Amino acid sequence: MDLYLGIDVGSVTTKFAVLSEDDQLVSSLYLRTQGKPIVMVQQGLKEIVQSLPSDAQIKGVGTTGSARHLAGVIVSADVVKNEITSHAVAALHFIPDVQTVIEIGGQDSKIIIIRDGIVTDFGMNTVCAAGTGSFLDQQASRLNIRIDDFGGKALESTKPVRIAGRCTVFAESDMIHKQQMGHRIEDIAYGLCQAMVRNYLNNVGLGKEILPPIVFQGGVAFNRGIVRAFEDTLNTDVIVPSHHEVMGAIGVALLAHEEMAVRGNGTRFEGFEMAEASFRTSSFECKACPSRCEIAQVFRDGKVLARWGGRCDMWEKVSN
């Protein structure tokens, strides 16, 4: 069985997706990164191989996410793509007429505008946590609600309270004030969902033409309260795909399949044995010019495999 592997390594979660030759999802995996991307990529390789048929042959591998370059080195990826491209490709695969993609992860959020199957605009929020999953995690903890139960609790709201959501600090103090006033927990929970949606639309979505069909991807799409808040605010249905939490991994697996069809030669993937290899990372400041770029590098068995992070390609050429 010929298969294609996609790996999406984010700051909070690491996702794996394996597609068949006809681009059907064969297996997927969703792990917490825990600040250890190398360890979790190797852990994911160990786990995902257990779910594959004995005759499985990986014909192409792609990586995406904030640690895509590091993951690409570990697995010797055939393609390394940014999150915008990967999420757009996945959304178009499942909903060909999609015009807007909302993607909210643990520590960043994105909007992708698609017209006639082509990405025409996008926006990202990587500075403030108020429009991301970590915002809800923090507030759920303060409300003593499990994050898995947060969405269901929010849906019980009948009179949501308005909470200032422009900043996590202000939102938290406003939420405490609402608690002290005696508002119901479910009304505060849905108020937080609305605040997060307002923050997203006023920052990430500012100036964007948000048209249906709208597809909601990422781990936060598990939260039904956020889905309802988007639908109420935008006054339209929001589609949550079946595999929304691994759409980035699916997208880059599709791109790997496409790349291998064009390239026609074998994959660079060295096999699931890489789960047992010894990798080490470090960084240094390049002083060749005033930019003073921080250059990241990864080693295996004491040998430099790759470097990246500079504004030029000075350090990207690694002699073998």
User: What digits encode the pLDDT tens for the residues 246-257?
Assistant: 999 999 999 999
- Max mean pLDDT among 24-28, 165-169, 301-305 falls in 24-28
- The amino acid present at 71, given as its one-letter code, is A
Taking the alpha carbons at both ends of the chain, their separation in whole angstroms is 33
Distance CA 294, CA 32 (A): 26
Give the pairing type, strands 279-285 and 118-125: unpaired
Average pLDDT, the chain: 89
Domain that holds residue 23: 2-86+248-276
Contact criterion met (CB below 8 Å) for 316 and 310: yes
Same domain, 106 and 216: yes
Contacts of 2 (CB under 8 A, 6+ apart): 20, 21, 57, 59
Q: Higher confidence at residue 169 or residue 141? A: 141
In total, how many domains does the chain have? Answer: 3
Res 181 pLDDT > 80: no
Whether residue 91 is contained in a domain is answered as no
Distance CA 185, CA 320 (A): 60
pLDDT in tens, 38-48: 999 999 999 99
Same domain, 108 and 232: yes
Contact criterion met (CB below 8 Å) for 89 and 98: no
Same domain, 186 and 271: no
pTM across the whole model: 0.88
Contact criterion met (CB below 8 Å) for 244 and 217: yes
pLDDT in tens, 220-270: 899 999 999 999 999 999 999 999 999 999 999 999 999 999 987 889 998
Distance CA 55, CA 220 (A): 35
Q: If pLDDT is split at 50, 70 and 90, which confidence band does 195 have?
A: confident
Same domain, 6 and 80: yes
pLDDT value of position 38: 92
Phi and psi at residue 242, to the nearest 5°? -60, -35
Burial class (CB in 10 A: 0-12, 13-18, 19+), 275: middle
Res 123 pLDDT > 60: yes
Same domain, 205 and 169: yes
Contact criterion met (CB below 8 Å) for 110 and 64: no
